[in-house]
């Protein structure tokens, strides 16, 4: 008899093996994202992933960044992010490609466009383009140049699976303040 826990036997170890096979030596970002998306969705729905999720969020940053896998050179990073209710991130880039799959609760993503020419250090002007709510099982594909912000509008902790071409603390990524028109380096605190 198949139980619900057995219905999706895909594990983090399976995903890491598949991730390596797809992403190593593949410079076509769109191909990598297209091929990884269904595998990440399977991992996000798996009992293995759900058993690994810790919801001990960092109240200072408003979320937990729990690394599940990272290669020694910081590539092929897999993390679970748990978002406190009413909290989120400022607009930011990743400096690498990424893929996000909802695991538990909704996640609101706002997408932004940089409208200045980027030549003045520390200065950036952003224009909001759109907003979309991602529910569990839905996937967001991020190329390196995308700027987005994330928030949890619910009263419960939400959880999402994040896959990156390189761990974001090693990509020189940036955070933006649209009101102050600033851009600064951004590192996350890992849990």
Half-sphere exposure of 14 (CA within 13 A, CB side): 13
The per-residue pLDDT for 2 is 40
Q: Which residues in the chain land under pLDDT 70?
A: 1-8
Distance CA 54, CA 66 (A): 8
pLDDT at 7: 63
pLDDT value of position 72: 97
Tokens of 43: 């991992």
Check residue 191 and give its pLDDT.
Answer: 83
Q: Distance of CA 22 to CAs 27, 45, 46, 166, Å?
A: 10, 20, 20, 14
Tell me the pLDDT tens digit for each residue of 101-141.
999 999 999 999 999 999 999 999 999 999 999 999 999 99
- Sketch the domain layout of the chain as residue ranges: 4-185
- 189 Cβ contact list (under 8 Å, min separation 6): 58, 60, 61, 65
CB atoms within 10 A of CB 169: 18
Q: Tell me which residue has tokens 């600033």.
A: 182
Can you name the CATH fold of 4-185? Answer: Jelly Rolls (2.60.120)
Which residues is 169 bridged to in the sheet? none
DSSP β-ladder status, 75-83 and 158-166: antiparallel
Contact 81, 160 (CB under 8 A): yes
Q: What is the pLDDT of residue 173?
A: 96
Look-up of token digits 């590192």 = 187
**Residue 52 backbone phi and psi in degrees, to 5:** -90, -15
**What whole-number distance in Å separates Cα of residue 191 and Cα of residue 170?**
17
């Amino acid at each position: 008899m198949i139980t619900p826990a057995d219905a999706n036997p895909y594990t983090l170890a399976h995903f890491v093996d598949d991730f390596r096979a797809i992403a190593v030596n593949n410079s076509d970002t769109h191909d990598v994202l297209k091929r990884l998306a269904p595998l990440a969705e399977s991992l996000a729905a798996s009992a293995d992933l759900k058993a690994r999720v810790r919801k001990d969020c960092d109240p200072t940053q408003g979320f937990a960044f729990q690394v599940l896998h990272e290669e020694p050179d910081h590539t092929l990073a897999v993390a679970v992010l748990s978002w406190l209710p009413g909290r989120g991130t400022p607009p930011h880039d990743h400096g690498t490609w990424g893929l996000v799959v909802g695991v538990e609760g909704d996640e609101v993503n706002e997408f932004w466009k940089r409208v200045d020419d980027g030549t003045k250090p520390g200065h950036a002007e952003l224009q909001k383009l759109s907003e979309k709510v991602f529910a569990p099982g839905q996937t967001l594909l991020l190329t390196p140049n995308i700027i987005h912000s994330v928030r949890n509008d619910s009263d419960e902790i939400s959880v999402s699976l994040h896959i990156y071409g390189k761990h974001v603390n090693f990509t020189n990524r940036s955070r933006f303040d649209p009101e102050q028109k600033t851009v600064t380096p951004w590192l996350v605190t890992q849990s």
